[in-house]
A = this chain, B = another copy of it.
């Protein structure tokens, strides 16, 4: 996998839909939000009714009729403020909750109200091309009803849906609180998938460091660190949320569901552990990489410098015997016997070359004894 494949997960707050000083509870449609698609599952131990559409009226009317069913209204796409307001109106939901649903950058949390509970989480998924997406999942749980809000049309919960669709599934005996658990359990499962992938990349990066440390390692690790920061910012409050759900006294979260939630809580802690470990590993990868690069650079510089140094005295000797001190005075033609007599020796050249070889060998020997030819 190359460093180009990633889509940058922005870790910054996108511009919140609202402005400074806005009324709290103000509903604004986020930029680029999709038109809502509504899907509804109504089930009890005897039957399962599914309906699909985009008219929230029909759906809400159906609720009143089938009061012996458990209903799951699954809304994909947040592009319609009216729909949200209508739901808020009909189910008597606080404005602040509606604002949280529409605000795409909510922190995972669990809020209890008199008549209903509200929970939200970050759904972090990745597709086969390793592109991560970080969207919001919010749910409102009430009596015999759960409404879930997702930002995209992705089928992130088809596992749960197919379990619902299966005839005589044990899930049909369980209330909306269990659906709520099942949704967030899937969210947690996705974290494992993403972390698995990060773990593989970390090992791949480490292997690349040993094989051939190049600049892309910095980029890729930087990218992973960014992703881990995003995951960590999501997983800590996720853990707190699950914990709040376990400790709630609301009858909407039954004792049986809490057993499952404890399992989910364990998984959350495991995720947090993994994230912290991965952060340490990527930090130590960076250290290793930097040490490798500096080692290689040092290795190169050392070899090059040794070559230079060996030749510098030799070149000096050559330079000396290239001097033009004259054997005789040009004016008087008087012999100047002290001017470079070596040049006029029968074996001067051979001696000179010998001296050069000797100097070279001495140096090589000296450097070798000092251990400078060893790898660092």
Residues of A bordering B, CB below 8 Å: 10-16, 18-24, 94, 96, 100, 105, 107, 109, 111, 157-160, 163, 171, 182, 185-186, 189-190, 192-193, 195-196, 198-200, 202-203, 210, 213-215, 218-219, 222, 225-226, 229, 233, 237, 259-260, 262-263, 266, 269-270, 273-274, 277-278, 280-281, 284, 286-288, 290-298, 300-302, 304-309, 311-316, 318-331, 335-336, 338-340, 342-350, 352-353, 356, 370, 372, 374-376
Contact = CB atoms under 8 A, between A and B. Distances in A.
Given A10-B199, A14-B196, A21-B159, 8 more contacts: A11-B199, A11-B281, A19-B159, A23-B163, A222-B288, A229-B280, A307-B312, A323-B343
Given A21-B158, A286-B287, A319 B312 contact: no
B326 A318 contact: no
26 contacts: A12-B195, A12-B203, A13-B192, A13-B199, A16-B196, A19-B159, A20-B186, A20-B193, A22-B189, A107-B270, A111-B262, A210-B219, A293-B298, A296-B376, A300-B370, A304-B308, A307-B309, A320-B353, A320-B356, A321-B324, A321-B325, A323-B349, A326-B343, A330-B344, A336-B346, A339-B343
Contacts of A278: 12
B270 A229 contact: no
A297 B300 contact: no
A225 B277 CA distance: 11
A102 B294 CA distance: 46
A96 B342 CA distance: 91
Nearest to A20: B189
A234 to B, nearest CB: 10
A211 to B, nearest CB: 11
A277 B376 contact: no
A260 B219 CA distance: 42
Nearest to A159: B21
A90 to B, nearest CB: 20
Contacts of A315: 311-312, 315-316, 319
Contacts of A14: 196
Nearest to A321: B323
Contacts of A307: 309, 312-313
Contacts of A105: 270
Contacts of A186: 20-21
B215 A295 contact: yes
Nearest to A290: B291
A120 to B, nearest CB: 10
A347 B274 CA distance: 73
A19 B190 CA distance: 9
Contacts of A23: 163, 171
Contacts of A312: 307-308, 311-312, 315
